[in-house]
Amino acid sequence: MVFLIQQTMLYAVPLMIVALAGVCAERSGIINLALEGIMIFGAFVGVLFIRTMQENNLFGQESGQLLMILALLTASICGAIFSLLLAFSAINLKADQTIGGTALNMLSPAIVLFFINIIAQQNALMMAKGGAASWFMIKPSTFGLPNDHSWGAFIDLFINKVYLATYICMIVFVIVSIILYKTRFGLRLRSCGENPHASDSLGINVYKMRYAGVTLSGFLAGMGGFTFALTTSNCSSTGQVAGYGFLALAVMIFGNWTPLNIAVGGILFGLFKCIAATYATLDINGDGVCLLAEIGISSYVYRLLPYLITLIILAFTSKNSRVPKAEGIPYDKGAR
């Protein structure tokens, strides 16, 4: 059970944060299809940062957490910079946002794989030494205790064999949700996605707000991308994130563009992902029986369920969807 919850958390948290990234952009009126691309870019930058620091011996294994936090920050900032490409074409040049996003989704894996091949002569960029578990995972030895130490089941759940990045993402998720829904800035940003002309008439700079939304979106997606690479693929970058960016879009739609529902959606879809990855050996209540494996539903069913559920939800909620009204429409001052 502990294993299942921890694993689900690993899959769910990147989904939540990237889905929130989608909300930031869409609430300001820009469709961000490039989430997948930004995640891939963020993962690459983070891994490259760690690799470079290790090669130059700037950080030892004992300061692994600090290195991880710096890498997370670098990945986020680079994600934000990368997303400016989308913002520029969508806001300044009034280009089609869907095509712009698709372009970024194609550009990111191409650039990343090109440089990975130049740097590592193969299709995957790894850490220079050690692995994610030995460097960045929180375990009893992090606190100077022997590795078989146990704090009891409940505390183990939260601090044994987990990653700090997961918690940072959770905190950022809460902070950004509060910014979006409880501050003046958030209200202004959201107004630009609903009725930009009204916002403009009240003295809000729609272009600036949309830039802010997309940049924030890129920041969160880069963070989610690196967290995903760190926690689920042993801190390596392979030019893909297994369709997570698109799954995050599904979570965003499932969550009806609101943070609380997104958290629920993220956990639900994360659970499906986790079941699909581990179902053959998953023993939920610890009695030695692998229940799901005995039911015998293929793991691909769990993998496609999130998309299917999203389609069905779309079909039933199309009438009262909370989709931002002005999303996808370039803002033209003269059209008022």
Partner 1 sequence: MLRLDSETGKAKWYKNEGTKSIASALVSILIGMCVGMIIIILVGLAKPEISTKGIMEGIKIVFLGVFSTGRAAGAVTFGFNPVNIGNMLFRGTPLIMAGLSVAVAFKTGLFNIGAAGQYLMGTMGTISVALTLGNSGIPSFIVWILAFTAGVVLGALWGCIPGAFKAFLNINEVITCIMTNWIAANLVTWFFDINDQFKNGADGGKVGYTIPLSNVDVVTPRMGMDVIFKGSQANGGIIIAIIIAIVVYIVMSKTTFGYELKACGSNMHATKYAGINSKRNQILSMAIAGGLAAAGASLYWLSGNTEFFWSTYQTLPADGFNGIPVALLAANHPIGVILSGLFMAMLNIAGLQLKTLTAYNEYIADIIIAVIVYLSAFSMFFKEIMNGRKHKKGGKI
CB contact set of 230 (below 8 Å; sequence gap of 6+): 46, 68, 132, 136, 163, 165
Instruction: Give the nearest distance from C-beta 289 to partner 1 in angstroms.
Output: 24
Instruction: Give the nearest distance from C-beta 117 to partner 1 in angstroms.
Output: 4
Residue number with CB closer to partner 1 (64 or 100): 100
Instruction: Give the nearest distance from C-beta 195 to partner 1 in angstroms.
Output: 19
Residue number with CB closer to partner 1 (191 or 310): 310
Instruction: Give the nearest distance from C-beta 96 to partner 1 in angstroms.
Output: 6
- Angle at alpha carbon of residue 316, lines to 314 and 317, rounded to 5°: 65
| Residue 128: count of CB within 10 angstroms of its CB | 12
- Let me know: does 331 contact 29? Beta carbons within 8 Å: yes
Q: β-strand 162-163 against 137-138: which pairing, if any?
A: antiparallel
Residue in the block written with tokens 């880069």: 222
Instruction: Give the nearest distance from C-beta 262 to partner 1 in angstroms.
Output: 16
Residues near partner 1, by CB under 8 A: 31, 33, 85, 89, 92-96, 98-100, 102-107, 109-111, 113-114, 117-118, 207, 240, 242-243, 246-247, 249-250, 253, 298, 300-301, 303-304, 307-308, 310-311, 314-315, 318, 333
Residue number with CB closer to partner 1 (108 or 160): 108
Instruction: Give the nearest distance from C-beta 166 to partner 1 in angstroms.
Output: 22
Residue number with CB closer to partner 1 (60 or 243): 243
CB burial string 311-324: b at 16+ within 10 A, e below: eebeeeeeeeeeeb
- Let me know: does 213 contact 24? Beta carbons within 8 Å: yes
Residue number with CB closer to partner 1 (85 or 138): 85
Token duo for residue 220: 């969160």
The candidate with the shortest Cα–Cα distance to 189, out of 180, 200, 176, 178, is 180
- Residue 262, φ and ψ in degrees, nearest 5: -65, -40
